[in-house]
């Protein structure tokens, strides 16, 4: 009976250790998830704060934040350019009155009702106002930018 008693004690001890380790892993996993959730909330709060500060101070941005403001403007311009390119690929044009996207063949804007020129697909190469070409890399960029979002060079 000595062997079976030892075996039973070993199995019981192993079971207790395994149960304890399982609780430890479950607790650690639960805490890791909570940490990740709080880090996400913190990142969103920082982003919201930064967006509010930028919105409220973009006209008189302190010098130490100017590089971030320029990066934001470059990103926004690049996003607008990409969206414009996507809409042009979808054979769409901007309404001359409200700026809403509409099909090239539409004569009236579905958003504001303004009359627009009917365009053939070839005629809408790049009729976006305020677009210029970077003299350094040739990228299409918005006219109001100070730096090219493609090559990073300062524009005159």
Residue after which a domain boundary falls, among 38, 58, 78:
58
- Token pair for residue 43? 């990142």
Q: Cα separation of 82 and 59, whole Å?
A: 25
Q: Domain residues for 9?
A: 2-58
Number of domains in the chain: 2
Same structural domain, 112 and 49 = no
Model pLDDT for residues 48-99, shown as the tens digit of each residue: 999 999 999 988 999 999 899 999 999 999 999 899 888 888 889 999 999 9
Q: Cα separation of 145 and 80, whole Å?
A: 12
Q: Cα separation of 116 and 96, whole Å?
A: 7
> If 0-12 CB within 10 Å is exposed, 13-18 middle and 19+ buried, where does residue 40 land?
exposed
Q: Cα separation of 19 and 12, whole Å?
A: 11
Angle at 32 between CA 29 and CA 35, to 5 degrees: 155
Same structural domain, 92 and 113 = yes
Q: pTM of this prediction? A: 0.49
């Amino acid at each position: 009976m000595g062997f079976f008693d030892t075996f039973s004690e070993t199995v019981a001890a192993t079971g207790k250790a395994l149960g304890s380790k399982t609780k430890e892993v479950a607790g650690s996993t639960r805490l890791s998830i909570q940490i990740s959730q709080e880090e996400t909330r913190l990142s969103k709060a920082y982003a919201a704060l930064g967006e509010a500060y930028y919105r409220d101070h973009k006209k008189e941005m302190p010098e130490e934040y100017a590089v971030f403001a320029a990066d934001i403007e470059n990103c926004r311009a690049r996003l607008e350019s990409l969206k414009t390119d996507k809409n042009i690929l979808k054979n769409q044009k901007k309404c001359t009155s409200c700026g809403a996207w509409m099909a090239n063949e539409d004569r009236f804007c579905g958003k504001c009702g303004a009359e627009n020129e009917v365009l053939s697909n070839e005629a809408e190469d790049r009729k976006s106002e305020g677009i210029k070409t970077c003299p350094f890399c040739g990228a299409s960029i918005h006219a109001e930018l100070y730096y090219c979002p493609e090559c990073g060079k300062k524009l005159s």
